[in-house]
Amino acid sequence: MPRQLIWSLLVVVLCLRGAFAQTVWPGEDWETATPVSQGMDAAGLEKAKAWLESHNSKSGVVIRHGRVVAEWYFGDANRQTKFAAYSTSKSLSSMATGLAIADGKLALDHTVGKYIPDASPESKRAVTVKQLLSMTSGVHNNPEFGQRQDFFSYALKTAPMDHEPGSKWDYNNTGLALLSPVFQKATGKQIDEFLNERVFRPIGIRSDDLTWDRREGFALPYSGCHTTARSLGRIGLMVLHHGKWNDKQIVPADWLKESIAPSQELNKSYGYLWWNNSTNKWPVPKDAFAALGRWDNNIFVAPSLDLIVIRQSDVAPPAKDYRIADYFQLVCDAVTVEGK
């Protein structure tokens, strides 16, 4: 039987049996629970732990119904250890952009030139916010961009245009760097301070648990966040609940729905700085989506299973037989029909 059909049948059975327990929202700390009490198989989660341990992982957290059902740390890592989120930071920048749009400060069709009229070359001024978020800016993708100290100046004034905006999908930090000065001009705030006020503090992420890198006075929109596994879990829980935290709407639900969905026809697995499973790229439920960072510092969410999965590391994964989808699949397969 095809795996996607199995997942569909499991979700129907879970709903019919009332297996989705009421969500518990963490206060200063998280509620923990045994796997079986939340409809998960402990032996299956041990397989996920073994996968993490054998693939250079430093942390892994599984959250179901708002409760931590499994939490692992390896090496010298612990609950307070902050790791670079790398490109998972992109998904957070997407949330900031959605909030700025809801505030009327930005729009998807606003251009770089509206805020940076001297961006160069001139064709760069026509790039829209939507194209920045969907990785279709057409800006030259410089493979050594991250090593530059002047990369905002480079992105704004020096990087050439390789393609007409909107014509090619290219996972591109050089192009996305333009978002930070555009955001600052539009809102008067840096992306990180905006997120601190509007997202991180309201969902209980403390200042000690999250920092954000800046260069040339701008927050890095593509790789700046450093945080703990449990903080990533809070972000995942909020997004799982369509931008709500308890009864408060933190990020607009319509924006999250749009940003997780395919943002263009060139790569339907990519939304607005989020990855989705609309093309069944992962062997997990089709409604799953994720924020994916270098070395697989990830937030994975499976709404139909009421499930959040975190993985962090500060070292490269082993090159042989490594697929992060295997970890996602092991955790999803640990969801059982029995138990509440």
Q: Tell me: the pLDDT tens digits for 216-226? A: 999 999 999 99
Average pLDDT over every residue of 46-55: 97
Q: How far apart are CA 225 and CA 142, in angstroms?
A: 21
Q: How far apart are CA 127 and CA 90, in angstroms?
A: 18
* Residue 183 lies in domain: 89-95+103-187
Question: Is 340's pLDDT higher than 50?
Answer: no
Question: Is 82's pLDDT higher than 60?
Answer: yes
Are residues 219 and 174 part of one domain? Answer: no
Assign 21 a pLDDT band (cuts: 50, 70, 90).
Answer: low
Question: Is 317's pLDDT higher than 80?
Answer: yes
CB neighbour list of residue 52: distance below 8 Å, 6 or more residues apart: 60, 72, 74, 311, 327
Question: Is 22's pLDDT higher than 50?
Answer: yes
Average pLDDT over every residue of 333-337: 88
Are residues 118 and 41 part of one domain? Answer: no
Domain ends where: 169, 187, 205?
A: 187
Torsion angle defined by CA atoms of residues 111, 117, 121 and 123, in that order, rounded to the nearest 10 degrees: 30
Assign 320 a pLDDT band (cuts: 50, 70, 90).
Answer: confident
Lowest-pLDDT range of 64-78, 138-152, 274-288: 138-152
Question: Is 323's pLDDT higher than 70?
Answer: yes
Are residues 164 and 75 part of one domain? Answer: no
φ/ψ region of 84 (left if φ > 0, alpha if ψ in -120 to 50, else beta) reads beta
Question: Is 14's pLDDT higher than 60?
Answer: no
Domain ends where: 187, 213, 228?
A: 187
Q: Which two tokens stand for residue 219?
A: 């927050």
For 288-311, letters b (16+ CB in 10 Å) and e give bbbbbbebbbbbbbbbbbbbbbbb
Are residues 254 and 128 part of one domain? Answer: no
**First CA to last CA across the chain, in angstroms?**
26
Are residues 266 and 178 part of one domain? Answer: no
Are residues 216 and 160 part of one domain? Answer: no
* Per-chain mean pLDDT for the chain: 93
The closest alpha carbon to 190, from 297, 91, 97, belongs to 97
Domain ends where: 187, 216, 233?
A: 187
Residue 8 counted as domain residue: yes
The structure's pTM equals: 0.93
CATH at residue 112:
1.20.58.710
Helix (H) or strand (E) holding 308: strand 307-312
Residue 167 counted as domain residue: yes
CATH at residue 48:
3.40.710.10
pLDDT at position 4: 57
Q: How far apart are CA 322 and CA 55, in angstroms?
A: 8
Are residues 81 and 118 part of one domain? Answer: no
**CB distance 78 to 63 below 8 Å:** no
Structural domain total, the chain: 2
Q: What is the pLDDT of residues 103-132, one digit of tens each?
A: 999 999 999 999 999 999 999 999 999 999
CA torsion through residues 215, 221, 222, 225, sign? positive
Angle at 111 between CA 110 and CA 115, to 5 degrees: 95
Average pLDDT over every residue of 304-313: 98
